[in-house]
Amino acid sequence: MDISLPQKDFLVLTDFTREQLTALLDLADDMKHQPEAYRNALAGKSLGMIFHKQSTRTRISFEVGMFQLGGQALFFSPGDMQLSRGESISDTAKVLSRYLDAVMIRTFAYDDIVELAKHATIPIINGLTDFNHPCQALADMMTIRAHFGKLEGLKLAYIGDGNNMAVSLLFACIRMGMHISIASPPNYTITPKAMEWILDDAERDELDICLTDNIEEAAKNADVVYTDVWASMGQEEERTKRLHDLADYTVDDMVMSFANPNAVFMHCLPAHRGEEVGASVIDGPASIVFDQAENRLHLQKAILYGLVK
């Protein structure tokens, strides 16, 4: 397959249409099943990877993915660059554009990625911010489509903290034609800023979008039940309070019983068994969490190919 993404960067899923994201999913599927066809697709290309947050899946999938496409990936921790000593984002972007073919950055503030993309002449890929996690959410769409054979018309129920993962799943579901319910305690629902992104989105009118604090209401008739950790990176000081406030939002066998009989369980990992999810659920037959993890590799290879080739 041959595809070029219409945007220079991959920052937020709402930048793309359903048709464009579907083409990206098709490419990821092709790469998964015919990897040799893309073995040297990015030969001679270099990806810079900037990590201000720790990572397992993001780093390994991008690094291995770039290698499998014939290119190279360079890892930069916070102390490896002059950003940590006060060099501006704009200067960094201009310098990296002279050396690299693309940059993937995993950081805290979404606005910092926007600023980097504004001044860079090469593609910038959002590997995660506190606002959103588009690579993960699109890999999740790939996983759901592989399991059910479709996306449109399915329902996803997200249970727990309305964090960056909840926001990205909201954006992904709207783009791909899925209904979504998000159950969170009142003080942990997704932010008004996130909802503002979709207020004028024509594709949301045909979909059921439910924000509630009622787990049974959210999970009822769901095809996918999804959760994430209750204390993300950067929230360690809030951990005790969050464990208390979210204690009733564990995805256990009872929660799964509210969903459709053939519903699957998803989690972007790392997981804390006994907190946001019960061991019987994440390690049970409905769990497809390791399919999710694997598909990060194939989806991110598709993004790299679409932006860099």
Q: Do 43 and 255 touch, CB atoms closer than 8 A? A: no
Instruction: Tell me: is residue 261 an annotated ligand-binding position.
Output: no
Q: Which helix (H) or strand (E) element contains residue 139?
A: helix 134-148
Instruction: Tell me: is residue 18 an annotated ligand-binding position.
Output: no
Instruction: Tell me: is residue 300 an annotated ligand-binding position.
Output: no
Could you tell me the two tokens for 274? Answer: 């006994």
Strand partners for 124: 103
By annotation, the residues acting in catalysis are 106, 133, 136, 228, 268, 296
Instruction: Tell me: is residue 268 an annotated ligand-binding position.
Output: yes
Instruction: Tell me: is residue 88 an annotated ligand-binding position.
Output: no
Instruction: Tell me: is residue 80 an annotated ligand-binding position.
Output: no
Instruction: Tell me: is residue 233 an annotated ligand-binding position.
Output: yes
Strand partners for 227: 267
Report the Cα 75 to chain-centroid distance in Å.
20
Closest CA to 232 of 164, 296, 184, 135: 164
Instruction: Tell me: is residue 228 an annotated ligand-binding position.
Output: yes
d(CA 54, CA 84): 16
Q: What residue ranges in the chain does DSSP mark as E strands? A: 46-51, 72-76, 102-106, 124-128, 155-159, 179-183, 209-212, 224-227, 264-267
d(CA 295, CA 213): 31
CB neighbours (10 Å) of residue 281? Answer: 24
Instruction: Tell me: is residue 134 an annotated ligand-binding position.
Output: yes
Instruction: Tell me: is residue 175 an annotated ligand-binding position.
Output: no
Instruction: Tell me: is residue 164 an annotated ligand-binding position.
Output: yes
d(CA 248, CA 211): 17
Instruction: Tell me: is residue 106 an annotated ligand-binding position.
Output: yes
Instruction: Tell me: is residue 136 an annotated ligand-binding position.
Output: yes
Percent helix, percent strand, percent coil in the chain, to nearest 5 = 50, 15, 35
Residue 190 DSSP one-character state: P
Binding residues for carbamoyl phosphate: 55-58, 82, 106, 133-136, 268-269, 296
Binding residues: 55-58, 82, 106, 133-136, 164, 228, 232-233, 268-269, 296
Binding residues for L-ornithine: 164, 228, 232-233
